[in-house]
A and B are shown apart, each in its own frame.
Chain A
Amino acid sequence: MSDLRSPLARARGLGSARDGLAHWWAQRLTAIALIPLVVWFAISLVMLSGADYGVVRAWIGSPLVMVLLILTIAVGLHHGQLGLQVVIEDYVHGDGRKLALIVAVRFVAAVFGLAAIVAVLRIGFGG
């Protein structure tokens, strides 16, 4: 098989060697971190199935849960946006739409992530 890159791309020096590895590595690192986090979170969510408002708040507000929950939110959303970026790059054609969607995913993840972390801190510190 011949070179898979077009002459123009080769001349520009673009391609996976530029910043593809950082994305790939971040995806794996967040995946490994999420193995224990997501197992803990899924079990916790199931155990909280019938829990009322007070029980849920007491659970969220305990120090260990706060730490694990904030980690799960941050790492989970980061992993999600990295994954969605790959899906968008594969299936959405047209540079403009592709870029717009990737930016939108990042913004939504940042807003929801930060709002959820602030909510956890509010519950924990009684704001």
Chain B
Amino acid sequence: MSVANRPVHRPLSPHLQVYRPQITSVLSILHRATGIALSVGALYLATWVIYAAASPKAYALFQSFNTSIVGRIVLGGWLFCVFYHLCNGIRHLFWDAGYGFELKDAYRSGWIVIVVSLVATAVSWIVGLRLV
């Protein structure tokens, strides 16, 4: 076999189902999951603005869902996705700048992200609930 045809041994991504969950890996996959959820949410929010421009009747349809129990739960999920992706995104930007790579720091920043996003979600969700 010539050198050019020799197979290249590339590193493989860890297979999630056989990989012991750790806070670092769980938060990493959660960043992607919330990112995908926010992309879908963006389409819903775009539709919300489009309906607001369309007619009062069209908008009332949206508003009746938004103020329902299901709508409130969806908003809570959206708020968590926003705050989590925001906080963990800032954590990523620090990594991009070269800070926080020590395992101890990665764990600590991970816990900060979890606590801050949960508190921000709870506070904003309760404020929204009282305004409905």
Contact = CB atoms under 8 A, between A and B. Distances in A.
A2 B128 CA distance: 55
B131 interface: yes
Contacts of A1: 11
A7 B3 CA distance: 9
Secondary structure type dominating chain B contacts: helix
A73 B42 CA distance: 8
B79 interface: yes
B82 interface: yes
A112 B9 CA distance: 42
Contacts of A4: 8, 10-11
Nearest to B86: A38
B93 A31 contact: yes
A122 B53 contact: yes
A116 interface: yes
- Determine the interface band of chain B, counting residues with CB < 8 A from chain A: 35 or more
Interface string B103-128: 00000000000000000000011011
7 contacts: A7-B4, A34-B89, A50-B132, A80-B42, A87-B35, A112-B43, A123-B52
10 closest Cβ pairs, A-B complex: A119-B53, A116-B46, A46-B128, A49-B128, A49-B131, A80-B39, A112-B46, A50-B131, A119-B50, A122-B53
Given A42-B124, A46-B124, A113-B46, 8 more contacts: A2-B8, A31-B93, A32-B93, A46-B79, A46-B125, A52-B63, A77-B42, A120-B53
Interface of B: 3-4, 8-11, 13, 32, 35-36, 38-39, 42-43, 45-47, 49-50, 52-54, 56, 59-60, 63, 66-67, 75, 79, 82-83, 86, 89-90, 92-93, 96, 124-125, 127-129, 131-132
